[in-house]
Amino acid sequence: MKTGDVLTNEFLIRYDMSTERLLIYRLKNGKPESDVPISLRLSTLKEMGKDPASKWVGETLLLLIPSVREKLFDLPKEPTSARE
C-alpha cells in the first residue's frame, strides 16, 4: 500500500471487540473507501503502555491528514515517488 492510498481528512475509527483491534477506515464522501482498514492490535498497544500507545495512535492519525503532515510534521502533503 502506498502512503497516498491512506492520506485523507476524514476517518472512521472503530474498535472491534471480537478481534481486539482498533480499525481505522479512510472515508470518501462519508463512506469507507475500502474494506481493508488500518488495523492496530490491542495487545501491541498494551505492550507499549498507555502513555506511549496513546501518543503513537494520536501521531499516527495526525500523520494521515495531508495538511497536518505538512504544517505540523514538515512532511509533504503528498508523498513523492521516492517515498511511495
pLDDT in tens, 42-57: 999 999 999 999 999 9
Structure pTM?
0.78
SS3 annotation, 38-79: EEEEHHHHHHHCHHHHHHHHHHHHHHCCHHHHHHHHCCCCCC
Residue 56 neighbours by CB under 8 Å, 6+ apart: 45, 48
**Residues 1-34: tens digit of each pLDDT:** 566 667 889 999 999 999 999 999 999 888 998 8
